[in-house]
Structures are given as structure tokens and as C-alpha cells.
Amino acid sequence: MKVVTFSLGCKVNKYESDSICEDFKKQGYEVSDKLEWADIYIINTCAVTSEAEKKSRQMIARCKKFNPDAKIYVCGCASQKNPSQFDEKGVFLVKGVAGKQKLIEELQTKGKKMDTLPTGYEKMTFSSQSRTRAYLKIQDGCNNFCTYCIIPYLRGRSRSRDVDDIIKEVSNLPDEVKEIVLVGINVADFKINGEKALIGLLEKLDGFDKRIRLGSIEDGIIDESFVKRLSKLKNFCPHFHLSLQSGSDEVLKRMNRHYTASQFANSVEIIRKYFPLAGITTDVIVGFPGEGEKEFCETVEFIKNVNFTSLHIFPYSKREGTVAFKMQDTSVEVKKNRVKTLQELNTILFDEFLKKNNNLSVLIEENEKGFLVGHSMNFIKVYLKSSKNFVGDIVNVKIKEKFLDGVLGVSI
């Protein structure tokens, strides 16, 4: 029998789906993460926005087009938030966030089976990842409770994975994996014995012959000591995705973000002191309740001054169950205009960053439309024309010009 697992949303979901695949593979099933014909579909859903929930529901219909008789199992954040939204979709079993690793034991269970959210980290099967880049989940849950975010209510409180278990998984990764990306709901909150310990984990992982990359992190972890220790790691990729959300202190307060704009800017200064060519990307929410023109202009000016590499821009999306849900929303038209303004600025920022980079060390990950494609250590996407198949290799590349969503280069 064939099983397809399909993930929506974050890299944590992707890691968990890979683990589910491994469980089925060990029981003799044919497995795939591509949307194609199968006997069983497992949809790992997302609820970070209402659009993500909608896509989670739509995925069921897409699976049924491949095989109307397939059994469909739904798990993840969207089903944790509202399991009933899948009632009329012909789903065999609906689970939430917890207990995903037990899916293979519950193939005959029909209806809803919502496990209690764990207070400790739930272990999952190591997946035999054969990609050049592997995700490594080190943490789950979040204690921040930003007023716009539903995820802490769905994923539960922050909990960290055992260090020995992390090291064991990295030790089991095949040689083909040249880079590991540390992921979690709040990676910066990784702890050992109740104390923040992300830098200590990174120092342990630096002993492996693999590049190390951080997923999204919170500004609060950045200080002189942390970044100085990072700069001494031989395998660390200097790409920092720091979630800003707004450059206005008043908006940050309403969001319940635990920093000011000046504190965030100071963190970026520290990073650039040790990593002058670091890729520094961020998330920005526009049109948050109460964001007037003055506050939006503060965000625009802040982004210009910090000079990010690139922006991930989101119009504010109301989420029932959050504090901000009861706040007065901003009009759709205003959000669209502000998104457009930041998109134009984003193009300028990315072009300026590319001018500072000439030669790059690039991990080639795949063939795509006749090009070899990979990422530099500071996370520039590179397209390469070559008669040699460099997939899985780290190649020195000279940038020629901007190309598609990255740059065109030649191997040197």
C-alpha cells in the first residue's frame, strides 16, 4: 500500500511528516511526500492564518481527485483549532497536534481522536532523510502569547528536546546530508535543565562535518556573548531570520512583543559586528489593529535604517481565540497598499545586499528547470549552469547577475 504525507505551513510540520513517513516505511508501506495517487493520505495542517486553514481543507479535495476511495487522515494545528471543520469532508480520522507519531497504530480508528497536549517534548522516529539539507526539530510550543498568534494555544507551552536525542539523530544522518536546519516553534527558547542553551547545542553540533543553520529566532536571544560564540563556529551559516513584525514601539506593545524597535536594531548591530555579510531576514505584519499612517511610516523608516536582506510581508489576519481578534481591524485596501509599499522596498533591499556579495560557498541542492540550484551560507539562492552534476556538493560560485528569486553564478 502507498501512503502520501502532505505538510502545510512551517518546517516543524515538515519534520514531523518526515517522521510519520519513516514509521510507515518501517512497516513496509510505500511512502511519498508528493501529492500523487495513494491508498492513504495524511494531511498535516496549518492554522497560522485563516488562509492556511482554508488550504488545509482544500487539500482533502485535491487528494480525492487522485483516489476517491483513499482513506484520509488529518492532523496538525488546523484540526487542533477546530476539528469539526473536517466533519463533512469525508475524512476517516481527525487528530490534533499531539500524538502524531501514533498515527500508524490508529489506522482503523475512525472519527476524532484528540490527544491531550503534552507538557514534555514528544519524541518521534528519526527519518532517514536523504536530502542535502535536513530539518532537525529541537523544540516545540511557545510561551510568548503575541496578541495576533493562535499557535501557543494549539501547540502548548514551550518544551525542549533532550540533547542526547538530538545528537543521536545527527549522528544517524547519512553523508548525503550536508546541512542541518534547527527548527521549532520558538527555537530561541531551547533549554537544558531549565536554562537557555541554544548556543551550547550549536557548539556541540559544530563537531559534525555539516553546515548548521538556524530557523526563525526571536530577537531576545541576541547579545554580545551569544553572537561572539557563534562567530567561532566553523560550520555555522550566518543567516538570521529575526521576527520583527513592526518597527513601531506602540504597535509592538499591542502585539505583546517583548522588545522595542531600538533593542531590535541593537541586536542587528551586534550581528553585523561579527558577521558583516550575514543575511538578515525578517517577518513584518502590516495593518495590525490600530496601525495608523504614522506607525506604518515608522516601520518603513526602521526597515530602511536596519537594511534587512529581505522581508516576508503579511497583511494582518484575524484569528478567533487571540487577544487581537477583538481589536478594530484595518481595512483590506489599506493593508494591500502597505503590502505593496513594503514589496517595493524589499526589492531595493535585496538588490543592495546582492551588491555586497561576489563569491559564495553554495550547497547545490537540486536540478530545477535546467539549472543547478542551491543556497549560500548567508542564504542567497543561486542558479548555476554547469555540465557537471554538483548536486550534493558545496561549490565556490562567482555571482554574475540577479536572476529570478536569486542570482545566476558560475563555478570557480
pLDDT score at 129: 66
**Average pLDDT for the chain:** 95
Asked if residue 290 and residue 406 are part of one domain, the reply reads no
- DSSP label of 404: T
Asked if residue 55 and residue 201 are part of one domain, the reply reads no
pLDDT score at 369: 83
Beta bridge partners of 363: 375, 394
Asked if residue 262 and residue 222 are part of one domain, the reply reads yes
Residue 237 contacts residue 378 (beta carbons within 8 Å): yes
Asked if residue 388 and residue 257 are part of one domain, the reply reads no
Asked if residue 205 and residue 307 are part of one domain, the reply reads yes
Helix (H) or strand (E) holding 15: helix 11-26
Helix axes 198-205, 163-172, angle to 10 degrees: 30
Q: By residue range, what is the domain housing residue 364? A: 359-411
Q: Give the torsion sign (CA, 72, 76, 78, 84).
A: positive
In a domain? residue 126: no
Asked if residue 350 and residue 211 are part of one domain, the reply reads yes
pTM of the entire structure?
0.94
Question: For residue 17, which of 145, 117, 104, 80 has the smallest C-alpha distance?
Answer: 104
Give per-residue pLDDT as tens, 178-235: 999 999 999 999 999 999 999 999 999 999 999 999 999 999 999 999 999 999 999 9
Q: Give the residue ranges of the chain where pLDDT is below 70.
A: 129-130
Domain-ending residue, one of 318, 340, 355: 355
Asked if residue 22 and residue 137 are part of one domain, the reply reads no
CATH value at residue 19 = 3.40.50.12160
Asked if residue 279 and residue 379 are part of one domain, the reply reads no
Question: Whole-angstrom Cα distance, residue 211 to residue 334?
Answer: 42
Asked if residue 365 and residue 348 are part of one domain, the reply reads no
Which residue is associated with the grid cell 501547540?
155
Asked if residue 205 and residue 193 are part of one domain, the reply reads yes
Asked if residue 364 and residue 307 are part of one domain, the reply reads no
Question: Whole-angstrom Cα distance, residue 229 to residue 399?
Answer: 30
Percentage with pLDDT > 70 across the chain: 100
